[in-house]
Structure 1
Amino acid sequence: MESGRVHCTVVLSSRENFVWHSMQEIIPAIERAWLGSADPGSHQVLCLDIDSLRLGEILPTLLKADTIVQTCFTYKMCRLGLLLRQRFQIDARWIIHLHNQATIACWPFHFWGMGEHLNADDVFISSCTRDAETMSLSFNNARAAVIPFTHPEQERANQDKQACKPQEPIPLVFIGRISAQKNLHTLLYALRLWLDSARPKRQVHLNLYGQEDHLGSPNMKMESRDYGNVLRDLVNILKLGPHVSFHGHVPRDELYARLSGQKQIFVSASLHSDENFGMAAFRALCDGNLAVLSEWGGHADFAKTFPEQVFFCMPLHSASGPVICARELAGSIDRAVDRYPRMTTPLFPEAYREHVVSARLRELAFLPQTPKLTLQMTEVAARILETRRKFAAENPASTQIFSSYSDPSAHSFFSYYGAKEPVRKTALARHRLFLVPWARITETGAILASDPHRGRILLKEALGGETCTVVDIFGKEHNMSTTAAQEALESGLLHD
């Protein structure tokens, strides 16, 4: 940039994604952070809401922009980017906040034409490390920066916040969508296993805040299967009634007023396809609370900023998609309960402070230019785009890109998001294994599961060889070949 010239950044924003409650906090915070990156005499920042403006009204401003920021993805914003690059030849650097795009190979950018006009000088912003790493499945040599979300209201509140006193029973709290991808069925089963454990423990009560999203897994075109009632039925089967409360949707201000001053353990075993931050978990951690989290997507970064407060459970690969062992999750809950009586001071780490985020955004706007070579799709992204076009031709309303949770293309993304290979157990003949509540053993000895997250899973019995004992949810014992048991263990349908 020429000496003395003011760099102009134009931030394009939208309220279209406010159907997601978390975006009602995230998008305004992104806008504030960009506006905070302005510097008199060197950096001018303008924020435009494209929902309410026509092209003719914003084009003069865009023509003088050095940097154009996209706070979220919408169809209108994508088509505007295509128009600016293709028709008006606007040479400004494009900075794109990814949100869920990294885990779907950025197919919407290609589907609606902007993808082929992105270049190596553009910058993608991810809210977590694993999302940024996942971008290597979308483009070859894309420039991705990790800048976390911030929360100005939480930052102000933390200035005067005192440590909360322990409660009895200990509140376990989940805040979020009631969705199979959030893996709440595994959380309920883990709670039952923890309650049945032999060691002395304090009383706990699980509070679930949120409404059912009825979305299922759109990437796989797996529709919702009345998940809220599935969870309530599971509570009855597991005899968890005295230990679990469903609170439904509570307005945000009322919810945080209700939880303020209450020391809690936040819990989320989420395996959601775009768990790229975890705003509810973040706010709970800032309040000085403990958190039991899946080491998945954005959750993993909290280990660096809240190292004394987070207890992880490891997602594992299976042929049928990612899974969390309920027994391991119960162990993480147990460690958090042991830690709970110790006081934890509320903390708002430096990395999330608004002025720090604004400074990092300013750095991106002023990055030296690189050759504007067109970004090339990876083979994975090209395959997903081809599949997406096929599915769209069959059903334009769907957003399907994978055939199922068994799709090899999906497994590449699961690996980047945190799924690890399971450790094979040995000497299974001496083990007593337990079947998850959503699976049963058929008359032929096969395991048939109606997994609320991954769908129908059928594992056939292997004949001959050593056998082991498998106990179903009703306490009935079955003999099973160790070969079949090993497969079921690796599929997340058995645990020891």
Structure 2
Amino acid sequence: MKKIVLLYSQANFVWTSMEEIIPYIKRLWEDYGQQRGCEVKVITVDEGRPSLFRQELFSCDLIIVSCFNGKMAQWLRIIRDSLGINAPWGFYLHNQATLGLWPLYELKIGELLRQDDIFIGTCEGDKLSLDLCFENIQFFLQPFSSPDVEKIEIIPKENILDFVFIGRISRQKNLEQLIKGFDLLIKEDKREFQLHFYGKEDYLDYPNLGLKSEKSYLEELKSLVSKLGRDQNIHFHGFCPREEIAKKWRNKDFVFCSPSFHSDENFGMAAFMALRMGAPLVLSDWGGHKNYNEKLSSGVFTFPIYHNGESLECDPQEVAENLKLSLQAKYSETDFFSYSQILSCMQNFFKEGKGSREQLKLTEFGKKLLAQREELKKDNPQKAFHSLSDPLLMQFYRCYGALEK
């Protein structure tokens, strides 16, 4: 019988998506254990210390790291460095891939990583990003889902008038281009379409670049709406719990939209929620959004993100064209997000985990990134890149889908 320890933490619940994702990971591995006859022990790291669980840790075959934070790093150092526990790690990446895992090195975990550790991501962009930084790193693709999901269907709708965005109001979400594209749609189509924004401003801007505007992004968006004369068509509802949004829109016809080029847009939980309601999607061809277009091409419409040498951008006309196409979305279905299929595929996790216990090696690119981070953090504790035109950052953007313009 395989023995698995899952390290769990609620410290990352400051993000709404993590409130869904981390408990989902816990449930997934518990269900896998029941299905496959494995013993799964969940340990919450927020309180207590590893020495209280020596028996479970020393006897386990695999340690699942469900998220990463300071307390988790402390546990991982003790487990592998102090106690010498040799079980490989299954490490959920979340936002770490496009950072080249530098936070792990910052907290003295990077040098403990081994070739038999497996890094779990939700999109191909995560794998490409890791391959930039590490030699022979093991990657396992695993989309998020929900225990009640077996098949996702997009149902054709008639007379759709509502477009909806759900998520943080953040510059990296690229929302001004959605507003401009929506404006172009109304000018062409003449119908009284409505665009709804659900979410609160995060005031983060580009933390990895040390960029933080003194201006409110939300106020800039509202000013743009007024300038375009669309106050009667575009609505900012502020933060609203996901369950309330689902209740409001479950029986209504709408299109979900996200033009995001966020550096950790590796899945899209809000897009997934909309899909579960049968809604068509209009998305940037970026990161985790690519999964949706590849699996549901008749009901998911994407537009490219370009790098113009100085920043990322998209073409509002291409946004408008895809908004219009979404109004004629056709039936589409996939079992890619099937919970039972994800459980079944997890058996491959153990087949792939066959690396050696040698230290994971950085590529020259990875070494350069860490050296740059060491230099830039003197100015700003979060800064890892010089600017949006930083050649290192541009490489990560290419991994997530940015096209040269």
Shorter-chain TM-score tier = over 0.9
Q: Equivalent residues in 2 for 1:49-68 (5 A)? A: 49-68=44-63
* CA displacement, residues 437-483 of structure 1 (integer Å, 9 cap, x when unaligned): xxxxxxxxxxxxxxxxxxxxxxxxxxxxxxxxxxxxxxxxxxxxxxx
Residues 242 and 389 of structure 1, relative CA distance in 2, 3 Å threshold: same
* 1:324 matched residue in structure 2: 314
Q: Equivalent residues in 2 for 1:441-456 (5 A)? A: none
Counterpart AA for 1:382: K
* Counterparts of 1:296 and 1:249, CA distance in 2: 24
- Residue 38 of structure 1 contacts residue 362 of structure 1 at CA under 8 Å; is this kept in 2? no
* 2:224 matched residue in structure 1: 234
Residue 179 (structure 1) aligned with residue 162 (structure 2): no
1:405 to 388, 395, 401: 388
* 2:208 matched residue in structure 1: 219
- Residue 94 of structure 2 contacts residue 264 of structure 2 at CA under 8 Å; is this kept in 1? yes
Q: Which has the higher contact order (CA 8 A, sep 6+)?
A: 2
2:91 to 92, 96, 104: 96
- Residue 102 of structure 1 contacts residue 138 of structure 1 at CA under 8 Å; is this kept in 2? no
* Counterparts of 2:186 and 2:156, CA distance in 1: 25
What is the deviation of 1:41? 7.9
* 2:240 matched residue in structure 1: 250
- Residue 293 of structure 2 contacts residue 300 of structure 2 at CA under 8 Å; is this kept in 1? yes
SS of aligned partner of 1:11: strand
* 1:369 matched residue in structure 2: 354
Q: Equivalent residues in 2 for 1:84-233 (5 A)? A: 84-152=79-147, 155=149, 166=158, 170-197=161-188, 200=189, 202-224=191-213, 225-233=215-223
Residue 271 (structure 1) aligned with residue 256 (structure 2): no
What is the deviation of 1:163? 5.3
Q: Equivalent residues in 2 for 1:448-487 (5 A)? A: none
* Counterparts of 1:191 and 1:402, CA distance in 2: 32
* CA displacement, residues 202-227 of structure 1 (integer Å, 9 cap, x when unaligned): 43100000010111110111114310
| Bigger Cα displacement from structure 2, 75-84 vs 277-286 | 75-84
* 1:415 matched residue in structure 2: 398
Residue 73 (structure 1) aligned with residue 62 (structure 2): no
| Bigger Cα displacement from structure 2, 73-82 vs 256-265 | 73-82
- Residue 376 of structure 2 contacts residue 385 of structure 2 at CA under 8 Å; is this kept in 1? no
Runs of 5+ unmatched residues, structure 2: none
Counterpart AA for 1:376: K
Structure number with bigger Rg: 1
Normalization by structure 1: what TM-score?
Answer: 0.77
* Counterparts of 1:210 and 1:383, CA distance in 2: 37
- Residue 164 of structure 1 contacts residue 262 of structure 1 at CA under 8 Å; is this kept in 2? no
| Bigger Cα displacement from structure 2, 253-262 vs 376-385 | 376-385
Residues 41 and 407 of structure 1, relative CA distance in 2, 3 Å threshold: closer
* Counterparts of 1:378 and 1:150, CA distance in 2: 33
Residues 41 and 234 of structure 1, relative CA distance in 2, 3 Å threshold: closer
What is the deviation of 1:389? 2.0
What is the deviation of 1:394? 3.3
* Counterparts of 1:164 and 1:248, CA distance in 2: 29
* Counterparts of 1:378 and 1:36, CA distance in 2: 37
SS of aligned partner of 1:297: coil
State percent identity of aligned pairs: 33
